[in-house]
Chain A
Amino acid sequence: MTREEIVEAIKDIIATIAPDEDLSNLKHDVRLRDQIALDSMDFLDIVMELRKRYGVQVPEEDYKELATMDGCVNYLYPQLSTKQLKVGV
């Protein structure tokens, strides 16, 4: 995956978890929680979905790295760059 595809991968996961949110104007450098309604269980679901779809492990102490879209991409790139994008699963 490229960095752009990682953004797409994450948006696709968020869209299944928070189907009522508009993700088209997400700012990448602002906390996701400040832009869309995501509680801590939603966050956990994102982590579980990343694990399910891509085998990515995010230890609890690293959850804070996923606060913004930029943070997600930077943190996940080393693990996801060798994986294929899966959307709409």
Chain B
Amino acid sequence: MTREQKYYKGSLDGKAPLTHDPLKDVRARYDAIVIGSGLGGLTAANILARCGHKVAVLEQHYNYGGLATWFKRRGGHIFDVSLHGFPAGMKKTCRRYWNEAIAARIERLDSIRFDNPQFRLETIFTRDDFTRLLVEHFRIERARVETFYSELARMDFFSDSGETAGELFERHFPGRNDVHRLLMEPITYANGSTLSDPAISYGIVFSNFMSSGVYTFGGGTDWLIGEMKKELARSGVELFNRVEVEGILVENGQTRGVVANGREIACETVISNASLKSTVERLVGESHFSSAFAAGVKAVRLNNSSTQVYMGLAEGESIPFLTDLLFTSTRERFDSPSLCDLHGESRTFSFYYPKTRPGSTRTTIVSSMNAHWRDWAGMDEASYLANKARLEADTVTALERHVPGIRAKLTHIEAATPRTFEFYTQSPQGASFGTKFEGLRYSMELSKEVQGLYHAGSVGIIMSGWLGAANYGVITASKADGFLRSLEKVRS
């Protein structure tokens, strides 16, 4: 797709036409250029600027935030795309790398429910509450639960035993498919990992996510990104939207700058928040990497994509509080692949009551499913539209079972597919959560191949989600800061 096509397709595709030169005020050179404004890119930019470097963020979309995004629809609806919940650690991350005002808006979800043929229950997602459920509801011995928890707590990145999550569950809770479902299903929705992914990535995420509750932002994604933009301005970061980076310039094994909207901009370091694979294969080009590295990146598997259905209640309509987050399925037993089925029977519902945006009276509901790019990519236009319509209809029917009468209250229903995610973020195959575990190594070692080149974006399962991406932005910024300071030393 050429830039002209993309920006001039009109408003229907959501990418408004270019009416001015978005790079009018850009400088000729920066210390660091960040490609992409996802939470990883924005956090890296903020930290680097606070360290005293001159930083620009170049974002191809007109909105900042990447997948941390929202959209408005006629009738006063505001839909959040990826604000279903994140771990408690986000509070510390926001306080430290953003500001207190942002951290103060982080609130714990009051309730999370599961409803499937194996169990119906409510939890607040804390270690104590899961222990209670496993002991009282699932009749597992307390000591067994404690052993499981302490094994997870001991896992770290450097102790990979090669075991899969499925094997880990089978070892601790043999034959208990219902327990495996409780432990795995939320994580599969949170980062796309499955029973066949490494136990280690499960352990790290579980210890973060299913131990101290699930949290959200009071104020919605629009408020959050608005506050982040203000903080970035205070830190001195220059933000440019509608600017697509077409290439990263490398000379003699060193990063020299980028080409964006056809123009060269020089810099000492590039932090790419674009997907790992596009960074290596498309933006830099494989010829600048050792053949082993390039082959390794090629072999990295992408994570799955998603579908979503956004449902808005009419002005004046409301529903009684049911839960904040509902994991539903009509499948008798749990297995990972079926969570990605095109005609899936498993989905989550996030309920955004008026409390989501203080002062608002509106309610929205967003349903999410995991999905495969390959199922949607090949459809012709007619079957694509038919499948979207079917997805919307199935979702409302499923919702009716939990919220009787909801259909009559909805005035907006709209679906997003892997194609939608690919279109808006340019993430290959619309990957929602970066790559599988093996991608992390390559992401972390980019600068060993090309000096000054770094990656800060969803990768390796553990560095994905809002918290993972933001923290990875800090980790990457620290490396880039070290490099920039070593350059200054050489010069002075």
Contact = CB atoms under 8 A, between A and B. Distances in A.
B485 A41 contact: no
Given A41-B474, A44-B474, A52-B51, A57 B96 contact: no
B306 to A, nearest CB: 27
B11 interface: no
A66 to B, nearest CB: 14
Given A41-B93, A41-B471, A55 B485 contact: yes
B380 to A, nearest CB: 47
Given A45-B96, A48-B481, A57 B474 contact: no
Given A41-B471, A41-B474, A44-B474, A51 B482 contact: yes
B485 A57 contact: yes
A47 interface: yes
Interface in A38-54: 41, 44-45, 47-48, 51-52
Contacts of B489: 55
A57 B482 contact: yes
B475 interface: yes
Contacts of B92: 41
Nearest to B478: A48
A45 B475 CA distance: 9
Contact of B481 (A41, A45, A51, A60): A51
B486 interface: yes
Contacts of B471: 41
B486 A57 contact: yes
A41 B87 CA distance: 15
Contacts of A57: 482, 485-486
Nearest to B471: A41
Q: How large is the interface on B (under 10, 10 to 19, 20 to 34, 35 or more residues)?
A: 10 to 19
Given A52-B51, A55-B485, A47 B474 contact: no
Interface in A18-76: 41, 44-45, 47-48, 51-52, 55, 57, 59-60
A44 B478 contact: yes
Given A41-B93, A45-B96, A51 B485 contact: yes
A53 B464 CA distance: 31
A44 B51 contact: no
Contacts of A45: 96
Contacts of A51: 478, 481-482, 485
Nearest to B486: A57
Interface in B470-487: 471, 474-475, 478-479, 481-482, 485-486
Nearest to A44: B478
Interface string B448-492: 000000000000000000000001001100110110011001000
Contacts of B481: 48, 51
Contacts of B475: 44
A47 B485 CA distance: 14
Contacts of A47: 478
Contacts of A60: 479
B452 to A, nearest CB: 16
B88 to A, nearest CB: 12
A38 B47 CA distance: 20
B465 to A, nearest CB: 15
B443 to A, nearest CB: 14
Nearest to B156: A40
A41 to B, nearest CB: 6
Nearest to A47: B478
B459 to A, nearest CB: 16
Instruction: Give the one of B93, B474, B478, B481 with max A CB within 10 A.
Output: B478
A70 B135 CA distance: 44
Residue of B92, B482, B486 with most chain A CB atoms under a 10 A cut-off: B482
A42 to B, nearest CB: 9
Nearest to A59: B482
Contacts of A44: 474-475, 478
A41 B479 CA distance: 13
Interface string B33-67: 00000000000000100010000000000000000
Interface in B79-107: 92-93, 96
B352 to A, nearest CB: 29
B399 to A, nearest CB: 38
A47 B489 CA distance: 18
A84 to B, nearest CB: 18
Nearest to A60: B479
26 contacts: A41-B92, A41-B93, A41-B96, A41-B471, A41-B474, A44-B474, A44-B475, A44-B478, A45-B96, A47-B478, A48-B47, A48-B51, A48-B478, A48-B481, A51-B478, A51-B481, A51-B482, A51-B485, A52-B51, A55-B485, A55-B489, A57-B482, A57-B485, A57-B486, A59-B482, A60-B479
Interface of A: 41, 44-45, 47-48, 51-52, 55, 57, 59-60
Given A48-B478, A51-B481, 13 more contacts: A41-B92, A41-B93, A41-B96, A44-B475, A51-B478, A51-B482, A51-B485, A52-B51, A55-B485, A55-B489, A57-B486, A59-B482, A60-B479
